Structure 1
Amino acid sequence: MSVTVRVPAKVNVQLAVGGARADGFHDLANVFLAVGLYDEVTVTPADRLRITCSGPDAHQVPLDHSNLAARAALALAGRSGRSADVHIHIAKDIPVAGGMAGGSADGAGALLACDELWGLGTPRDELLAICAELGSDVPFSLIGGAALGTGRGEQLTPLEVGGTFHWVFALADGGLSTPAVYGEFDRLWEGREVPVPEASPELTEALRLGDATALAETVGNDLQPAALSLFPSLRQTLTAGGEGGALAALVSGSGPTTAFLAKDAESAESVAEALLASDTCRSVRVALAPAPGATVVAPAV
């Protein structure tokens, strides 16, 4: 008896970052777009809570209770008055520590899988509230599609997407800590007033129309200078993708994965080939967006 949930990666087509708040977080205008790279999270009854992981870079995934999947199971169990006695297996395909919300995806996947396994039928609003307690990106991993995240990113407004967007992702050799990138953002802005983050109307309209060219003209990531400061070689990757024909090139979230928007499927393959030939990244992935959020693909039987 087990439940498997498939959950997508994300790219931030706009990440506008405000100054540090008193609680240490930053106010954001974060336009999420779910992309078709997925982890699968399977939960099975067990005598205690334990986590296993397989797939690319699985050795980098924590297998203790710091893992968001474990924290999700514990949070839901606590609310329902039961023990979180499950084996959680994560089949990784989302890059680890790559700025694509792989850990957040696993948290959302485990939450939905446990809810299904235990037959709780928790209302979506309550699941989203638990997600927000777990982390800023976790709620979006649950709903997928496209959304504007405000607050620290957890307050979501779904956005309409009028077409399919073609993306290429270049995976770096190494990782970046999200707290370290935000810390570098604060250092780079020290002594200056950080603008209030606002979503671009032109960008949300480009999403609504499904217009890749218009979207390319409006994407942006306020964390990119900080990521490049900590990981300077990413500049070469961004340049290689641009020269390979990408409409837009940016660091994905806090990095170090870099994202490239392509005109169509043929262009995406050309960009991918150029990136591989440049020897500026360790691997390349091509994916479509938007993608659905956390979805039960193998229900309890």
Structure 2
Amino acid sequence: MTLSAPGLAEAAPAKINLYLHVVGRRADGYHLLDSLAAFAGAADLLRYAPGGPLALHLDGPEAGALVAEPDNLVLRAARLLAEEAGFAPHGTLWLTKALPVASGIGGGSADAAAALRLLDRAWGLGRGTRRLAPLAARLGADVPVCLDSQAARMGGVGELLRSAPAMPVAGLVLANPRIPLATPAVFRARQGGFSPEAALPAGWPDAAAMAQDLARCGNDLEAAAIRLCPAVAEVLAALRALPGCLLARMSGSGATCFALFASPDAAAAAAANLPASWWRWGGGFTEGAPKPYSAP
């Protein structure tokens, strides 16, 4: 086992469910999903330096919501990887939290996935994301898709991944009313039957074509989330009123909502028009950015 120099870092991008259909339910009560996940430029940042027992420090504008957590998912990921490799976990991690917690954009899952990638490098294990995937699935249903942080079609309870349609350049606005929503509560509040899997093309030439197809899909958790948190409806209304908005929808189990725009620049300009009391971000998807670490 070898250690690399201090200063290693991994971004943990926000996961956006461009649609989310509940297609069934397993015997154990877990819901079966069909969803297209994509990743935004908005991200947490995880850094590592070697030496000493395993420790985690929190900073960043959204870190306060995690201070009271008895066991952060980043630490669970670190301990799981070390256990699988057969040694005691060690080193210091710093999590700069920029994404709101319990907000439907996979912040905790993305942080755990970043921890697996980062420590795989820092501890000289060389497993790569393919061999890390089984560990990711043990940490949570959203963690596997966050390992590569690239658009993917999600099935099962979220852990079954297949290729996404080719994604165009598009702009993305994210907005959250700063009200946390617990995923189990939203699923419990959901009413109605199940939806079919979406029929998607091989790809889209531009953002407008993507928005047109996605408009025929939906988020089957949106109505339940609005009943629990009426502010979600206010966020959606504000997004739809932004000039240039092609589509607005809730992501995951909420309360974060997104809007699609023709370009990242248009999205960045539009986000500035949202209430300053909300968490808000505007930019683009990670598609076209350098691929995350993946060992052979």
TM surpasses 0.5: yes
Match of 1:173?
Answer: 178
- Which of 269, 284, 290 is the matching residue for 1:288? 284
Q: How does 1:41-60 map to 2 (within 5 A)?
A: 41-60=46-65
How far apart are 1:13 and its partner, in Å? 0.7
2:221 maps to: 223
Q: In the alignment, residue 227 of structure 2 is paired with which amino acid?
A: S
Counterparts of 1:117 and 1:156, CA distance in 2: 27
How far apart, in 2, do the equivalents of 1:231 and 1:65 lie?
A: 26
The 3 A distance-change label for structure 1 pair 73 and 210 is farther
Amino acid of the residue matched to residue 251 of structure 1?
M
SS of residue in 1 equivalent to 2:127: coil
TM-score, length basis structure 2: 0.88
CA contact (8 A) 1:31 1:199 kept: no
Aligned counterpart for 1:209 among listed residues 196, 204, 210: 204
Higher helix share: 1
Which residue does the alignment assign to 2:37? 32
Indicate the residue corresponding to 1:299 in structure 2. none
> 1:269: how far off?
4.2
Structure 2 unaligned spans of 5+: none
Change (3 A) 1:103 1:15: same
- What is the CA–CA distance in structure 2 between the aligned matches of 1:210 and 1:79, rounded to whole Å? 43
Amino acid at match of 1:239: A
Gaps in structure 1 of 5+ consecutive residues: 297-301
Task: Give a deviation string over 1:233-276, Cα, whole Å, max 9, x none.
Answer: 22122112212221111111111111011123454245324423
Deviations 1:188-220 (A, max 9, x none): 23xxx424x41332xx44xx2242122222332
Aligned to 1:250: 249
Q: State the 1:77 CA deviation.
A: 0.6
1:253–1:293 distance in 2 versus 1, CA, 3 Å = farther
RMSD after superposition: 2.2
1:126-275 → structure 2 map (5 Å cutoff)? 126-185=131-190, 188-189=191-192, 193-195=193-195, 197-201=196-200, 204-205=201-202, 208-219=203-214, 220-245=218-243, 246-265=245-264, 267-275=266-274
Preserved contact between residue 29 and residue 150 of structure 1 (Cα < 8 Å): yes
In structure 2, what is the Cα distance between the partners aligned to 1:289 and 1:221? 19
Look up the equivalent residue of 1:17 and give its one-letter code: V
CA gap of 1:140–1:10, structure 2 versus 1, over 3 A, is: same
Higher relative CO (CA 8 A, sep ≥ 6), structure 1 or 2? Answer: 1
Aligned AA for 1:242?
R
> In the superposition, relative to structure 1, how do residues 273 and 194 fare at CA in structure 2: closer, same or farther (>3 Å)?
same
Query: How many pairs does the alignment contain?
Result: 283
Match of 1:120 among 122, 125, 130: 125
Q: CA deviation at 1:161?
A: 2.4
Change in Cα spacing, 1:293 to 1:259, as seen in structure 2 (3 Å) is farther
Q: Alignment partner of 1:114: what SS?
A: helix
Residues 50/23 of structure 1: CA separation in 2 closer, same or farther (3 Å cut): farther
Counterpart residue identity of residue 168, structure 1: V
Once the two structures are TM-superposed, the CA of residue 111 in structure 1 deviates from its matched residue by: 0.7
Q: Distance in 1 between matches of 2:279 and 2:79?
A: 35
Moved more, 256-265 or 156-165: 156-165
Of the candidates 75, 78, 95, which is equivalent to residue 73 of structure 1?
Answer: 78
Q: Which amino acid aligns with 2:150?
A: G
Report percent identity of matched pairs.
34
Task: Specify the SS of the correspondent of 2:137.
Answer: helix
Q: Following TM superposition, by how much is the alpha carbon of 1:11 offset from its aligned partner in structure 2, in angstroms? A: 0.8
- The amino acid of 2:260's aligned partner reads L
With structure 1 as the length reference, what TM-score do the two structures score?
A: 0.86
